[in-house]
Amino acid sequence: MALKSTVVRADLQISDLDRHYYANHNLTLAQHPSETDERLMVRLLAFALHADERLEFGRGLSQDDEPDLWRKEMTGEIVQWIDLGQPDEARIRKACGRSRQVVLFTYGGRSSDIWWDKNANSLQRSKNLTVIDIPVETVEQLVSLMVRGMRLNVMIQDGELQVLG
């Protein structure tokens, strides 16, 4: 029997003073049995940092042709492709070709450093790619806020992020 996804609800109150974006997002996320709490919370963090009325979650871990989050125009053009973890170089190149902007959030500590050392030379050529490494301590703090029905206040000011549960 296949394991089912866990439903996690997040009420995200976002005050992004840098982008002048202020909104409340009531999100329902499906946490695949193989998805760690760390990855789920990094997905929420990525959403908060790029929140927009058109930003939506992809269909999940098993979908190779979709990112973790994306923002599309009404025409279907992909404006922003957001992935998490340590995807292979071919996936990132493909994303850079399909989207105006690609953002990759890495969060694995030393394993992310090793992955970056291996891929940095080729990825730095992609002009529409931004790689953001989330420190292990930050991920641990985010996981400490996780419950199946959470309310989080996110404030972004001068490039600094504050998350309160």
What is the CATH T-level fold of the domain 36-148, as seen in this structure?
A: Restriction endonuclease-like alpha-beta roll fold (3.10.640)
What is the pLDDT, as a whole number, of residue 59? 81
The answer, yes or no, to whether residue 98 has pLDDT greater than 90, is: yes
Question: Mean pLDDT across the stretch 76-82?
Answer: 96
Question: Mean pLDDT across the stretch 21-48?
Answer: 95
Q: Which of 57, 67, 107 is nearest to 85 (CA)?
A: 107
d(CA 51, CA 131): 17
**Tokens linked to 56:** 């939506």
Whether residue 79 contacts residue 101, with contact meaning beta carbons closer than 8 Å, is answered with yes
Question: Mean pLDDT across the stretch 89-112?
Answer: 94
At residue 63 the predicted structure's pLDDT band, cuts being 50, 70 and 90, is low
pTM recorded for the entire structure: 0.92
The answer, yes or no, to whether residue 108 has pLDDT greater than 90, is: no
**Tokens linked to 34:** 């193989």
Number of C-beta neighbours around residue 102 at 10 A: 25
Tell me which amino acid residue 38 is. Answer: E
